[in-house]
Chains A and B, each alone.
Chain A
Amino acid sequence: METPQLSSLYQQLILEHYRNPRNKGELEGTSVEIHMANPICGDEVRLQLRIQGGQIEEAKFVGQGCSISQAAISMMTTLLHGCSLADATILAECFTRMMHGDPDAAEDKRLKNLRALQGVSKFPVRIKCALIGFDALQEALKTHAKEDES
């Protein structure tokens, strides 16, 4: 097996988001909140969304963990503001496919900055780190849809 390059993992953009996370803190008027943790490694996120008229008005998070998990969550939240619920679902699916090595997903321009995380897919034990934020997002969207129905 080819040795994956560290430089593809620890890009400046990722380290920058790790050090200066965007949208970190408590959200006011939260519509849905999901807590997700990986008990094996201690990565943790509490994702909060305010949803209005089928759109995510604002997304914030509180979390701790490695650079990959925290940078991925931070970058994710920057793309969620003003995003329709349908587009958020597509974004989560697309990112998840990129993490599992789908080259088409990695080309998808909708991922924007998140494509910097493509290198994580070469490090199998770290994929779950990159996915924890999007796992929380998918769970949040499901929970919101259920609450909307009832």
Chain B
Amino acid sequence: MTTATLDPVKIRREFPTLDQSVNGKPLVYLDNAATSQKPRAVLDALRAYYENDNSNVHRGIHELSRRATVAYEESRAKVASWVGATEPAEIVWTRGTTEAINLVSTAWGLNNVHEGDEILISVLEHHSNIIPWQLLAQRTGAVIKYIEIDDQGRWVLEDLSDLLTDRTKVVAISHVSNALGTVNPVKEVAAAAHEVGALVLVDGAQGAVHIKVNVQDLGVDCYAFSGHKMCGPTGIGALWARRDLLDSMEPYQGGGEMIHIVEREMSTWAKVPHKFEAGTPNIAGAIGMGAAIDFLSEVGMDAIARHERGLLEYALERVSAVGGVRIYGPESLEEHSALISFTLGDAHPHDIATILDSEGIAVRAGHHCAQLAMKHFGISATARASIYLYNTEDDIDRLAEGLEQVQSIFA
């Protein structure tokens, strides 16, 4: 166990976006669960690729194509080791978490889920881990079942053995809730799901950002995540899946790069992961995601986790002290990731966000693409302040002062 710490003031200098004023005040960026800012190392990697190596991958015989291919595949290897994959071939590049989930629900789901089969998800899920399964259910006649949540936004697992049956074909669950910050007991549910022979897919969009993920330790079959929430570019993400599973799956999209031999009637497919990567991929994005992983590795995930934990504790204390605030999500810090989802009296979350924006503070307001979770609490929206490695206690103080202003306007 290391006790590495990080200096957020020093880290902030690596993020050009943070160095600006918004509405006349220094920017406080607390919308990290939506997307993170990008460090110079990532911006430099994108620029260097386009300035020096821009070329298509796995196609050219020439030098630029060779360099681009090497950088692109090196990034795949970085992503593989980032989540504890057995080999780089277990990483399929996607546009992000959403596409990774759709890939599995389509390429695996359409061939393995049949009428009357069951799909188990939770009411805590982001729409990107609900809608692909609803589409699959509509197409196959399968049934969707839900893990419910308690008043702290935690899964209710007492009846898990009833929810899992011999008809359960897939369990699709989030590692960390984007709406409430709940850190879910994925390992426990995955073990139970495997006992009935179900496939386990994890939406890791908010997980891989804050937690040092090891897919072997979690004991899951698929893990989907995005680059842009962890300092990488938008439009790039990855699906990790067990090699034997990927080998058994049909292609997702057809096109260039994913083929082996093309005949008039029928063709054969490239080996994984290329079988799932039709068309020219987001080469720059993949290289940028690799640079983001290098950056985060250098700072250290343990140090980031410790920093976030400290700030979350401080933020919970400061925000809950503002009159009229109600915080949603787990009370225990152990179960609570680095965000606070809250309401303030009868001020609508959009009004909270507008008032904070006028103070240069960026938060998210809305249903966070988690309408089922919002409905559970009988609300339509919350305000959400989400923390990342470059946030400081000063940011939290500014947030608390902004909320005092909301309180005084809506008093």
- A42 touching B23, Cβ below 8 Å: no
* Identity of the chain B residue whose Cβ is nearest the Cβ of A19 in the assembled complex: B346
- Is B354 positioned at the interface, with any CB of A under 8 Å from its CB? yes
A34 to B400, CA, bound (A): 40
Pick from B349, B350, B409 the residue with the most CB of A within 10 Å. B350
Contact B358 A6 (CB under 8 A): yes
| Complexed CA–CA distance, A42 and B353 (Å) | 14
Q: Is the CB of B346 within 8 A of A10?
A: no
**Which residues of chain B are within 8 angstroms of A123 by Cβ–Cβ distance?**
354
Q: Is B393 an interface residue (CB 8 A)?
A: no
Cβ of A126 within 8 Å of any chain B Cβ, yes or no, is yes
Q: Mark A31-54, 1 if CB is under 8 A from B, else 0.
A: 000000000111110000000000
Whether A3 sits at the interface, judged by CB under 8 Å, is yes
Q: Are B346 and A42 in contact (CB under 8 A)?
A: no
**CB of A13 closer than 8 Å to a CB of B:** no
Chain A 57-101, CB within 8 Å of chain B: the 1/0 string?
000000011111000000000000000000000000000000000
A40, B366: Cβ atoms closer than 8 Å: yes
Chain B 339-357, CB within 8 Å of chain A: the 1/0 string?
A: 0000000111111001100
Q: Which of B24, B350, B367 contacts A66, CB < 8 Å?
A: B350
CA distance A64 to B350 in the complex (A): 12
On chain B, which size bracket covers the interface?
Answer: 10 to 19
A43: B residues at CB distance < 8 A = 350
Q: How far is the CA of A41 from the CA of B349 in the complex (A)?
A: 9
Q: Specify which chain A residues have a CB less than 8 angstroms from the CB of B410 in the assembled complex.
A: 15, 67
Chain B residues with CB under 8 Å of A4's CB are: 23, 358
Task: Please state if A66 and B348 are interface contacts (CB–CB under 8 Å).
Answer: yes
Interface: A141 (CB within 8 A) = no
Complex interface: chain B residues within 8 A of A65 (CB)? 348, 350, 380
A6 near B409 with CB under 8 A, answer: yes
Q: Are B346 and A41 in contact (CB under 8 A)?
A: no
A136 contacts chain B at the CB level, 8 A cutoff:
no
Taking a contact as CB atoms under 8 Å apart, the answer to whether A126 and B358 are in contact is no
Option from A10, A15, A18, A41 in Cβ contact (under 8 Å) with B381: A41
State the Cβ distance, A36 to closest chain B Cβ, in Å.
15
Hey, which chain B residues are within 8 Å of A129, CB to CB?
350
Bound CA span A4–B359, Å: 11
What is the CA–CA distance of A42 and B380 in the complex, to the nearest angstrom?
Answer: 7
Is there a chain B Cβ closer than 8 Å to A9's Cβ? yes
Q: Chain A residues near B380 (CB, 8 Å)?
A: 42, 44, 64-65
A65 to B351 Cα, complex, angstroms: 10
Q: Which residues of B contact A41 (CB under 8 A)?
A: 350, 365-366, 381
Q: Which B residues lie at the A interface, using CB under 8 A?
A: 23-24, 346-351, 354-355, 358, 365-367, 380-381, 409-410
Task: Beyond the given A41-B350, A64-B380, A67-B347, please list 15 additional residue pairs across the A-B interface where CB-CB is below 8 A.
Answer: A3-B358, A4-B23, A4-B358, A6-B355, A6-B409, A9-B354, A10-B409, A41-B365, A41-B381, A42-B380, A65-B348, A66-B348, A66-B349, A66-B351, A126-B354
